[in-house]
Structure 1
């Protein structure tokens, strides 16, 4: 499976990034050209669920997006400006200017890198006015730095990493050159992003076990053996319904505890559309039984089951109605206070929302289909999968898929024979 990576930057940087991506069979690159930092929020928010990771053209857009909360540190990175990129730009200055250049203003590159290049290639006669920074500075600050250095005759040439700064300095008549990341620096970032993406996919596939206990184990007991059995069957039937919603399997009761085996991704998907608190309340309403829930996740069934036990142990120190989740690091998280909005209607691509609005189509079911397909990394699917997901009839699923196809949100990629009389089954793929 190829990892879908979004690239954000000006056109020349995207072309450089694309050159590297083409050579890497692991990557499917999606390019997003931008001209100013004001565009970043729109680009990221509207496309964040269509890519797995982000590669930014440089330090400034990456940290600007990170600072504003549009991405997390685990969702992207940028190519570091190593010595080779700086050296190549210096050589270009010498060749193109045809005259001795002894003083340069330079932003984004730290003093350590400059010293290494100067020592390694005997460039100690060059003077650098530096503006290093840890995360980002405004374009205006960087432009002013280069302007003042040139006006005060401290420098003869400006060297920048930013296209906006480069264009503005050229307009003002200041000799200016751009540093672009090297092929190796870009490849290193791709290696990091692919590794992260594979780890995330693995994380979603981890075993998750939900444990259910009655707050009062004697509640099922009755002097009437038939009444007692009836109460137990009602409880089990409701838990079977819960297992279906989680795409999981309900095991038989053991030590007065029921278990549902599923994946971490399915728990996350469910908790985004219907809170686990609501799930427990619905069970208690239908059965008149109070429920305690503990969830454990791990790389094996044994470790996940161990973490279920830890989750129930933690209930003593948590408030009523808490739903403890213990992950593979044995960290306890109260899911009753967590309700991710990752898979909501609002986080559908703009193109989907626009089409459904134009067709006056309720987006709830399409959103569930879209996010499930994305979560599971499913490239092709048919009505059987949707029937299982939506818990409805195959006829209903075929109708829904046909409607989405007519709106251009799905595309038929092939048809398969079912071995039965009638039309072949359509196989679909998502249209972004």
Structure 2
């Protein structure tokens, strides 16, 4: 069995150095709250079964507003937020204790909410490193000369930069050792740790490193927000993807189309719930991203997807677009079958697709047709769907 993996997003700080008089994790960045941008790639990662946010006291309304921008199907994977403490160390410990109380064991990724540009590739590297090590952190080589100064600003020492790295989040840990280290540090009154790897070092654990990402900017000062806005303001280019899916009929009493359960005299043969509409739309979005296909992200050989609800697949693809700073302009779907009759359910299908992908209703087109009794659909042996996705992504730098 694949070990459980959770993400703990630390969003309890006040972020006063960033200016603007409000916690930086709730400030707007490109018209979207920072926390929403940070959460999107974690919620898009299918191997993360649980995502928990640690918030600051009195931030409930800000938190609710931030996550309201995420698709409803993605929000279902969020646990109720936990209130943090006075320091980052206190906040992480509070989150770990909440996960422990829920019975969680496995691998934990700890990430700062103020890093909204975390990439799927960096999360992938964190997951891989966490599977191999008790503690592993993303690191970047230091390219500037680094010097140590005294209290007056005078140079005391030039440090050998080939032995230095700067570190980022998400950091990956075996859950129980990290929890034990936090508990031990708290009991000993050991404080002032600026990240969780430092606590693991204090507890006697070796910490491995893996490749970080220079684009994984942490928002700390007002200038960081200016740079982030400039990055998001890059011209958007339009890209189009297509998708196609088919399933054969078998014994049953319903089919799923566009996230709607429709009564029918037959069911479909499928590993998941067999929703050809959502499968085709997922492939269309992934195609526009040049990001593989539904089978590469949700392989039918993996038993965790047996009978899975296909809304998770489309929500995953939509979140991949947002994480890359893009947007979905339009989804267009054609369902091909002799039965069931799609017309009576067309509006419900459109509305459900819009809800899953986080779009307005006028951004979703849904049509149905027959194949004039020709081919396997015409003979009533199955049904098919074709989809087109139009998205916009920032131009590569």
TM-score, normalised to structure 1, is: 0.28
TM-score by length of 2: 0.29
Q: As a proportion of its length, which structure holds more strand?
A: 2
Structure with the greater alpha carbon radius of gyration: 1
